[in-house]
Structures are given as C-alpha cells and as structure tokens.
C-alpha cells in the first residue's frame, strides 16, 4: 500500500468510528495495519474540507459505477479498492461479499512466528504442512527455516502434493490451535494448489536452504521437482535477471526461438530483452516478429520453456543469477 492510499484509508477509518474501523482492520494483514496505524497517528484532525474530499471520492466512484449499470457488489468492491488500495481492497471485498470464505486460521499471520515454530515443532508433518499452506509464503518460509532439515524436506514435499485438505485434518488442526494457542473457530477445508504454494515458499527461502530442499526433493520425486522448478521461475521472471546476465543469456538463445517466445511475452520482459540488444539487432528482431504473423500459443509456451531451460542451465553453471540480487560471472 503506497503512502497516499495509507493516508486515505486512515482518514476513512477515523471517520468510521472505533468499532467499524476495528472490524475493517481485523481483515487486513499486519504490515498494512502498521502503515495505516502510523498514518492515523499522524492525523491530528480531519477537518470538513478533508472529510468532504474523502466522501466526494466515494460519491464520484458510486456515480461512475451506477451510471454504467454495475450492481451493488461491483460498487462495493470498487469502493474498497479505491480507498484501501488494490491488494487490500480486493482481499477485504472478497471477505465482505462472501466470495471467499474467511477462515479463522488466517489469524495465525498475526501471531509471533517463533510461537508458531514452537507449536508446530512436535506436530505431525502433515499438520505442519497444512498449517503453512494457509499462511503467507514469506512467513511459512521463516518457520520452515527454524525446523530440523529432515522435517523441512518432508513438510515441503507434503505441501507440494496438497490439493484438497480433508475436513477431518482441518478439525484436527482446529483442535491443536484451540488447545495450544486458544484460537477458536470452525476451519473449513478448501482446495489448495500445493505445487504453486511450495514453489512460492522455496522461492521465499532462497539461498542454501532452498537449494538443499530442491536437491532433497529430486531424490524423492524427480517429476514433481521439475514442476516446482517451472513454477519457481517463469518467463515473466526474466525481468529479475541483471542486464549483464540478460546479455549473456541472449548470446545462447537463437533469434528464431526468441522471435516466437516474445510473441506472448509480458511487455516488461520485452522491454528488458530489447534494452539489452543493440539497436540494429532489436530492429531486426521486431521485423522478424511482424513477418512471422500469428503463432500458436502452444508454440509460444514451448519456446519460452526452452529459453528458461537455457537460463536455468546457465544459473546452475554460475554464469548468471536468476534473482535480482545476485551477481553474474563472466567465464
């Protein structure tokens, strides 16, 4: 949430009153609550002019939406996004409109991470996996780092193979949280994209911990590990490669392959690639792309995957770094 959105949200909440503001804040992640709280603390008063400006913005949003025949749900969603920002507004709108069932397990994100580590350390790996699968990936990564290495590997593998969490498992988790953390609520099972969740957690782990877990998973399930690698680094992530790394990568990629891959590429990726080509090479590539005409999506995806294979190979050889903070090496 940018400072301007934080300030607007703070003013809105101050005008809503303590009870309503508290209800809204209960559904927002701790980092955003902290930003909004700091903004609220900096506001000495909300004068009539400021209040009118905030209310007018909501009124303008309402008039713009209703003039196009958008229903109440559409207006409420847009209103929350306008006042709280894209991410927080959508999250709260989903809860308010009932499109996603709010789960009390989300309250774990508010708890001290070391407390959660202590709670999970002696639990069955499946319970640990289910718990972490419902948490923000950066928090899950922190907790996994504190667990014994053998348990780390087991938990990540279990997360990666999660699809639908059985209601019986959710009830068991509910009992554990109630007994150990005094968290109450009726936890509902839901579908989970385990592989994507595991890939995100491994990305958050980074460094030696992430590499070690990937290496361990390869020994257990090579096919699953390859899928995780694909999910961990997709074509859009090429924007994270340094300029020097991109130049090295482009030397290894044929023009024909690049022409097809860029047909369906994100604009940021295109800009990154053209930025690291000579003006003449860039012009020739554009001409080739225009001359080729429409390309099947399957061909684009295949070409992009081949480039990612080259990028991963170069990363494993130490020639480039796939992260934004790494250093590249010249052989």
Complete DSSP assignment for 64-82:
HHHHTT--HHHHHHHHHHH
Taking the model in full, what pTM does it have? 0.46
User: Model confidence over 71-105: pLDDT tens digits?
Assistant: 445 555 666 666 556 666 666 565 555 433 334 56
Q: How confident is the model at residue 109 (pLDDT cuts 50, 70, 90)?
A: low
Third-level CATH fold of 235-316: Annexin V; domain 1 (1.10.220)
Looking at per-residue confidence, does 212 or 275 come out higher?
A: 275
pLDDT at 35: 79
Spatial distance between the Cα atoms of 84 and 302, rounded to a whole number of angstroms: 39
Task: Kindly state the helix (H) or strand (E) to which residue 328 belongs, with its residue range.
Answer: none
Interatomic CA distance for residues 196 and 235, integer angstroms: 15
Locate 27 and state its tokens.
């559904």
Higher pLDDT, 47 or 283: 283
Chain-centre distance for alpha carbon 276 = 27
Share of the chain above pLDDT 70, in %: 69
Instruction: Determine the pLDDT at residue 330.
Output: 39
* Average predicted confidence (pLDDT) for the chain: 76
Answer whether 285's CB lies under 8 Å from 262's CB: yes
pLDDT confidence tier of residue 116, bands split at 50, 70 and 90: confident
Burial call 75-89: b when 16+ CB within 10 Å, e when fewer: bbbbbbbbbbbeebb
CATH 1.10.220.30 in the chain: give the residue spans. Answer: 106-230, 235-316
- 89 DSSP 8-state letter: H
For 106-230, the fitting CATH number among 3.40.190.80, 2.30.30.240, 1.10.220.30, 3.90.1150.10 is 1.10.220.30
Using pLDDT thresholds of 50, 70 and 90, give the confidence band for residue 67: very low
Residue 295 predicted with pLDDT over 70: yes
Q: Which is more confidently placed, 194 or 41?
A: 194
Confidence at 331, pLDDT banded by 50, 70, 90:
very low
The pLDDT of residue 328 is 44
Supply 319's token pair. 């020639």
| pLDDT band with cut points at 50, 70 and 90 for residue 261 | very high
Query: What pLDDT is attached to residue 327?
Result: 47
- CA 286-241-314 angle, to 5 degrees, is 95
- pLDDT for res 204: 76
pLDDT at residue 274 tops 90:
yes
């Amino acid at each position: 949430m940018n400072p301007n959105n934080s300030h607007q949200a703070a003013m809105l909440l101050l005008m809503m009153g303590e009870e309503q503001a508290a209800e809204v804040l209960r559904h927002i992640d701790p980092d955003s609550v902290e930003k909004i709280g700091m903004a609220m603390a900096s506001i000495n008063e909300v004068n009539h002019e400021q209040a009118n400006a905030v209310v007018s913005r909501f009124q303008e949003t309402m008039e713009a939406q209703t003039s196009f025949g958008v229903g109440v749900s559409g207006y409420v969603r847009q209103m929350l996004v306008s006042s709280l920002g894209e991410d927080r507004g959508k999250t709260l709108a989903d809860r308010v409109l009932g499109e996603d069932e709010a789960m009390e397990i989300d309250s774990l994100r508010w708890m001290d991470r070391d407390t959660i580590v202590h709670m999970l350390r002696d639990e069955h790996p499946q319970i640990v996996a289910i718990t972490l699968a419902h948490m923000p990936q950066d928090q899950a990564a922190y907790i996994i780092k504190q667990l014994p290495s053998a348990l780390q590997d087991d938990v990540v593998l279990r997360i990666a193979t999660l699809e639908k969490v059985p209601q019986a498992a959710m009830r068991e988790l509910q009992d554990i949280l109630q007994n150990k953390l005094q968290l109450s609520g009726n936890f509902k099972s839901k579908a989970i994209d385990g592989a994507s969740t595991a890939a995100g957690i491994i990305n958050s782990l980074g460094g030696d911990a992430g590499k070690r877990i990937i290496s361990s998973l390869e020994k257990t399930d090579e096919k699953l590990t390859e899928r995780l690698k694909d999910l961990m680094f997709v074509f859009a992530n090429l924007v994270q490669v340094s300029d020097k790394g991109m130049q090295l990568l482009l030397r290894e990629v044929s023009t024909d392959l690049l022409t097809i891959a860029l047909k369906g590429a994100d604009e940021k990726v295109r800009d990154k690639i053209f930025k690291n080509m000579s003006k003449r090479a860039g012009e020739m590539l554009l001409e080739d792309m225009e001359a080729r005409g429409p390309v099947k999506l399957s061909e684009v995806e295949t070409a992009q995957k081949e480039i990612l294979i080259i990028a991963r190979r170069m990363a494993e050889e130490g020639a480039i770094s796939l992260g934004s903070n790494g250093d590249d090496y010249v052989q």
